[in-house]
Amino acid sequence: MMVKALEGSVGNKLYKDTLVRNIGAIIYRDRKKVEAELKRMPALKAFSEFEYGFKIRDKENPKAWYIPDATVITIPPEDQLPTTPLDSAKNALEGVGEAVQDMFKGIGNIKIG
């Protein structure tokens, strides 16, 4: 469902971030194991840093599955992974609660004549 939604403009942004965040979280959670396995491969043994990414495979073109091209979606460093929509809303509203409390702080002390 998420891969199909990538074809639309609205779904692309929403689901692409979700895929990047979820795949990135798994990679970074097990980063030491992942990199230990990568370093077992002779071609990657000498590398000390890795960049991660993924590609949505086109079932109609299996020959292109292993060709790195512009369709590879890069996973950013762990501290730059996209946030969830809920986290984004929470961060946007973080200071609002305090401001509202400050607005109504003195209301309980009002004395009517």
Residue 39: alpha-carbon gap to chain centroid: 25
What digits encode the pLDDT tens for the residues 22-80? 999 999 999 999 999 999 999 999 998 999 998 888 888 888 888 878 888 899 999 99
**What is the residue extent of each domain of the chain?**
2-81
Find the helix packing angle between 9-29 and 31-38, rounded to 10°. 80
The confidence score (pLDDT) of residue 67 equals 85
CB atoms within 10 A of CB 78: 13
Tell me, what's the pLDDT at 93? 63
Say what the pLDDT of residue 25 is: 94
Nearest CA among 30, 14, 25 for reference residue 54:
25
In Å, how far are 51, 62, 72, 79 from 65, measured between CA atoms? Answer: 18, 5, 10, 29
pLDDT band at 99 (very low <50, low <70, confident <90, very high): low
pLDDT of residue 92: 58
